[in-house]
Each structure stands twice: as C-alpha cells, then as structure tokens.
Structure 1
Amino acid sequence: MTVTTQPVHVIGGGLAGTEAAWQVAQAGVPVILHEMRPQQVSPAHHTEHLAELVCSNSFGARASDRASGLLHAELRRLGSVVIGKADDHAVPAGGALAVDRAVFSQDLTETLSRHPLIELRRGEVSTIPTDAVVVLTTGPLTSEALADDLRRFTGMEYLSFFDAASPIVVGESINQDIAFLASRYDRGEAAYLNCPMTQAQYLAFWQALCAAEQAELKAFERETAKFFEGCLPIEEMARRGEDTMRYGPLKPVGLFDARHGDFRDPNNRDKRPYAVVQLRQEDKAGQLWNMVGFQTNLRWGEQKRVFRMIPGLEEAEFVRMGVMHRNTFINTPELLTRSLQFKTRPSLLAAGQLVGTEGYTAAAAGGWLAGTNAARVVQGRSPLEVPETTMMGALIDFISSASPKHFQPMPPNFGILPELPQRIRNKQERYGTYRDRAFQDLERWAQEQNLVLQAGELSPLSA
C-alpha cells in the first residue's frame, strides 16, 4: 500500500460529503472538507452544521424488506457514520427512521471536527482543484461559480428540477381535541398526528390551495423548472385534480380515531374522515411536527392562511415555513463510472443529489463509495464497485448506466435490482428474498475485497 500525506478534497458538507470525508479519514488518508456555510448562505439551509436536513427528518422505512431499510442495513454493516448517528438520534416515527435533526447534524459536525485527519475548511470553492483527488458533493445547490466550472469541464448543461420542504409546526399549537395519534393499519407505533377533514372542509381547503399565491421564481428558474414527481409541491398536486391529494398524502385509508371507534367498522362509516392531514414528529421531545407531504412554494403568508384551514391547525405556530429551490444534477450516465469516478478524470469523483440519487440514505451511500474510492486512488489501489444485487450497488449501477437522454433522479427501490432466479408472487416474500440475497452477496464481496463489515442484526421485517 502506498503511503502518502496528499489530502483528498471533499467539496460540500451535506450528507454525501460528510460520509465521504469520514470514509477517507477512516482509511488513513488526510482530507479537507470544504463547506461554504456560513460565509455564504444557501436558499434552503438554516445553520452552519454539516449534514443539515432541509426537507424532512425521515430516512425512510426501517424494515429490512423495504428498499430504504435494506440500504440502512447495508450502510450499518459498512460502517456509515451518517446512519450510525441517525440511529443514535432517532425519534419515534412508526416504521420509519427519523431523527432529531438539530442534534443529528450538530453531533456529526463535532465528530468530524475531532477527527485528526479531517480539516473542516469554511468558504466557497469556485473551481475544481486539478492537482489533487477531489470528491464533489455540492448537492442541488451548487454555487454558481463552481457550477460554471463544472459545466466547462463536462461540456454539458445541468438537468434541473425543483425540490420543496414542508412546514414545521409547534406541537403545543396543534388542537389535539381534533387531531388524533395513530398509525396506518395499526402498523408500528402510533407516531403520526392526524387531522381529519369532512368533505366540505376538504373541498374548501382544496379550492383555497389551488387559488393561493406562490412565491415568484427567478427568471432562470422559470425557464428550467421541472418538478420531480417524488417531491411535488402540495399546491401543484392540488391543481392536478380535486381528488389527487386524497389519493396521495391526504389518503384517509387505514386510520382510526380510538376516541370514536374503528373507522373500518361498517357501523362507524359516518365518522370516517373524507381526508386526513398527517404530521410526523421532528424531535425526541415531540415539540415539533412536520406536515407530511406538504412541500410547498406558496408565499409564507399564504401558507399560514391556507394551512390553518386544516382542522386542528387553526392556531398552528409555524417554526419553519415551506420553501422551494432549484435542484440540479449532472448527466451521470454520460459522465461517471460505477466507481463514481469521472470517465475523463479518474481523480475526480462525485456523489449525492448532484449525481441523481434521491433521498438522504442514498446520499450517504454515494458518499461512502466515493470517499472509499477517493482514498484508494490516493493509495494507488483499485477502486471498488459494489455488487448490483445490493441496494447500494443497484442504485449506483442505475445512475451510471441509465439512458442519458431520459435520465432522472432515482431513489432506492426494488425495481432496480436484478431479477431473482425464481418468480415469487407474494410481494413481502419477494422483498425478503431480495434482502437475503443482498446480504449474502455483500458478505461475499467484502471477503473478496478484504473489507471488515460491522457486526449488527438485520432491521425488523415490515408488518
């Protein structure tokens, strides 16, 4: 193994950058982690901490026979610092892995700052260094100067879409004489507050939402706006039809208020809500609640006016309003290999939303691979490619081999995994078989690569 003191440069202190920097340092290679905040602010962030979560506090389902849960489990075995801290700071969220976001990002910042091989350097990087190994993890809000340099290097324009964050409400301001605590179909703990709506209340809310005034987009944003279907603003969803929200985030199925009996009982059908707005706990103390599925670009005054029409939120106190910003990502199939190296410059790697993976856990997974391979490049070792039968490997394989013409961001999902040798009709059994194969192949691959996996039990199965 070649010993060197040349540092790797990781540009961007989000989830992918935090994970990448940690893996570089854990491999015994010095790393400089560049984060422009607080010297330069972004439209979505509120703190200077690393790995700040700006959209939701949820990393997705915990169960290992769910796509996100399988990726959690793989990353735990691989020693992910992001998933480790998520486990440390988890808050009740039914079957999901959700965190106390403030404590989570503060702990990661302190942990990386204490590592003897990590230098946290604040300030904007306007050009990509060409004399060192570099990992780009600047995410969807890459600064204009760096974005211009990346355009020059790739010779390509970005693809663009929009992402939006949901409002957060103070728990004490929610009328819990109206809102009720429950989980869908009695699965997992009752971790969501549910605000039920009658048909008349829903229709009034829907009409107000469709007519509400949006924040004005900048000229360049209007020209390139393209909504990502997995994170539609709630007002955009409302405009698609009267019932669109009721078949989406306001779906009233599988919920019941214990105070009024089970809505599934035919005798209680007259008490069944026409629609339900759900709120998910943001912090361990239950003081903050996130409006699930309410990503929005409405003006802040309009948000307060319209969202207080929701039963139980008439006196809602908002600690963070919904925001919307342009996300950008590169045409990864044209540019990157399965090791997350640029084809024309192997010393340059990239990960996170910048490369078209969608979601927090996916960002950590890309950061793990890019950081691990950056260290291996410095050490003169061959880069790794994760087996495509694992969720991490399948996701990286997809973004690096998809059709460049129609490339769009991709979250973890079982549809990108190679087919099983046998056909299994039962979905839960099929997903469990995918999981078992992923772990067997991860173990085999780790042995071949002389990687030491962390001990740990599988996450529980879904109900």
Structure 2
Amino acid sequence: PLIRVEHGEVAGIPLDGHVIIASGPLTSDALAEALAELTGDRLYFYDAIAPIVAADSLDQGKVFYASRYGKGDGDDYLNCPLDESEYLRFVDELLRGEKVPARDFEKIVHFEGCMPVEELASRGVETLRFGPMKPVGLVDPRTGREPHAVIQLRAENREKTMYNLVGFQTKLTYGEQRRIFRLIPGLENVEFVRLGSMHRNTFINSPSLLHPSQQLKGDPRIIFAGQITGVEGYVESAASGFLAGMTAAALLQGRESAVPPPETALGALMAHITNADAKHFQPMNVNYGLFPELPGRVKKKERRQKLAERALAALEEWKDKI
C-alpha cells in the first residue's frame, strides 16, 4: 500500500527526496543526458576491459619489474618479455582467434585509441610492437637488453594481488582469451580474475563520485545501484541494489548507512569500486583478489577457505550491529 508503480520513461533526476538510480547498462539517452549533467565527464557509455590476472599465479621467474625509461618506483609494472618467435606466434594466434560478434547497437565501439588488441594485430605484424607491446625503454635484467616485445601488467589494486594486461582490451571469446594469453611468457598457468570485453555499457566513475554507501558525494540524497556503479554480474548488481535499499532506509530513519566490512564479498566490492584508481577505472566483478590480505603466511590452497571463513565471521559481526 505504500508503493506506487509508475510506468514510463524517466528523463530527469528528481530535484528533491531520496533517489535511487539503477538504470542499468542501456540507460536511455534522455536519462544519460541528465546523468552527464550531474557527473560531468565521469559518465561512460562503453567499457573496454582488458583481462585481469591473479598475481600469485604468475611465473615470477619469467617476468620482471620495471617502468619505462626507469621512471616511477620501479615496481609500478610487471613486464612479460617476448623474443621474436614468441611474438610472431602470439600475433598469429590473435589473428586466428575466435571473436565475439558485435550486436547492432555495439557496432561503433571500435573507436580509435581504444582498439581491440586483435584489431591492432590485423593492421600489420609490427603494429603491436609500436603500440601496447612496444619494448622501448624496458631492459630485461636477465639479458641486459630490450626484449623484442613486451606485455606490461599494471597493478589493479593497492595490495597488488591482481594485475591488468595494459592495452589488451579484446573481443576474443573467453575460451580463446584463456588459450592465447597463456602463450605469454609468465602467464602459462595464470588464473584469470576477469576476462576482457568490449561492449555497450553505461557506468559512472564511482571512485571519484560515490561513497562506499553508493551515495553521490556531491548530493548524498542520490544513491546509485547496480551495473551503473561499475559492478559486473547479476549477483553483484542485485547485491548493490540490496545495499542501496539499506542506505535509503537508513537515510529515511535518520541513521548512518551501514556498509558491510571489506572482509565480506559485498564490502570488498564496494571498497574497490569507490577506492580504485579513478584514472583507470573499469567495471569489476567480485573475486578473491578484492579481499584484504590475510595476516601471516597462508598456504595458497588454503587461502580461499580462510578468506571465506573470515568473510562469514565479519558478516555475522556486521549483522549484529545493524
């Protein structure tokens, strides 16, 4: 009796009252225009996602830390060096790999400056060596020389438990990504935390715009939820909506919003999307790499079980407080 359902397009954001915006990845043009006015240049209409890998699954004997020309702290990037034969084989497999066909409304996603890596490879065998795989300014400490080509991995989080393949946004199928990217030296047995994709998606730059409660920093009565916040996946979007409902209820009751602790799955996801590097922000699904590290040394095969046990304990403690 206290709910009124109205069917129709929402073309603007209400100027008063509490508002939850959960318009999803295909937000209408009119609402997207209103959101653009609200968020400035921090609203995006396509995601161009490169694969992310688990740090503890990399072969550390084949990769090396270095920033181009020795700039930075020295451990900003991990580098996977390729010799000429490895490079040529990699390019050949990129060209032969099966791609995901674009749907009609996604046809314009291939814009210059954010080209799929396989599309770059199709422009000529040397194109990648002068693009995302250029070795200039990177010296392999084991040989004392620049490799023929390099794939750089950039830390995805502060704990450096996950690494992003820089410039490797792709439309290869998931199976082909696993097969082809495991040809890269150091990634032969890698665990993919997230696979690459390029598709139509409306989302905001949450690190610069949202509190962990999903409230807009500039107008806390506005709460975002679901895929528009930069969470990926059905379960993640539903959980984001659950938290948005809790936040709205707390506001109406004059209470502070209660965000789950980062040791829990939802808390870890919220901590990531609101604290990630805003400059390189891309949508993220929940994964073990988001969780804070366990104290002390834990065997790799026991790590996930320990993380789950800690998460459940933290969840129970949080539930007792709300």
TM-score (norm 2): 0.58
Structure 2 distance, partners of 1:418, 1:245, is 27
Indicate the residue corresponding to 2:306 in structure 1.
433
CA contact (8 A) 1:332 1:400 kept: yes
Structure 2 distance, partners of 1:128, 1:246, is 46
Question: 1:422 is aligned with what amino acid?
Answer: G
SS in 1 for 2:4: strand
Q: 1:448 and 2:321 equivalent?
A: yes
* CA 1:412–1:344: 2 relative to 1, 3 Å: same
1:291-440 pair list within 5 angstroms: 325-427=199-301, 429-440=302-313
Structure 2 distance, partners of 1:225, 1:141, is 20
Structure 1 distance, partners of 2:289, 2:15, is 38
Indicate the residue corresponding to 1:178 in structure 2.
none
Measured after TM superposition, the shift of residue 117 of structure 1 is 3.9
Indicate the residue corresponding to 1:222 in structure 2.
111
Among candidates 36, 55, 65, match of residue 151 of structure 1: 36
Measured after TM superposition, the shift of residue 245 of structure 1 is 8.4
SS in 1 for 2:299: coil
CA contact (8 A) 2:48 2:199 kept: yes
Measured after TM superposition, the shift of residue 213 of structure 1 is 8.1
Question: 2:304 is aligned with what amino acid?
Answer: Y
Larger radius of gyration: 1
Question: 2:111 is aligned with what amino acid?
Answer: R
1:75-114 pair list within 5 angstroms: none
Question: 2:239 is aligned with what amino acid?
Answer: A
Q: Deviations over 1:58-114 (max 9, x none)?
A: xxxxxxxxxxxxxxxxxxxxxxxxxxxxxxxxxxxxxxxxxxxxxxxxxxxxxxxxx
Structure 1 distance, partners of 2:37, 2:26, is 18
Structure 2 distance, partners of 1:328, 1:136, is 12
Measured after TM superposition, the shift of residue 118 of structure 1 is 3.6
Indicate the residue corresponding to 1:120 in structure 2.
5
Residue ranges of structure 1 left out of the alignment (5+ in a row):
1-115, 164-202, 248-294, 297-323, 450-463
1:158-173 pair list within 5 angstroms: 158-159=43-44, 160-161=46-47
CA contact (8 A) 1:161 1:224 kept: no
Question: 1:222 is aligned with what amino acid?
Answer: F
* CA 1:232–1:364: 2 relative to 1, 3 Å: farther
Measured after TM superposition, the shift of residue 119 of structure 1 is 3.3
CA contact (8 A) 1:161 1:225 kept: no
Question: 1:334 is aligned with what amino acid?
Answer: S
Q: Deviations over 1:20-44 (max 9, x none)?
A: xxxxxxxxxxxxxxxxxxxxxxxxx
Question: 1:161 is aligned with what amino acid?
Answer: D
* CA 1:244–1:402: 2 relative to 1, 3 Å: same
Residue ranges of structure 2 left out of the alignment (5+ in a row):
50-91, 117-163, 184-195
Indicate the residue corresponding to 1:277 in structure 2.
none
Q: Deviations over 1:229-255 (max 9, x none)?
A: 8995346986x89x52898xxxxxxxx
Q: 1:244 and 2:180 equivalent?
A: yes
CA contact (8 A) 2:115 2:169 kept: no
Question: 2:11 is aligned with what amino acid?
Answer: S
Q: 1:233 and 2:122 equivalent?
A: no
Question: 1:233 is aligned with what amino acid?
Answer: K
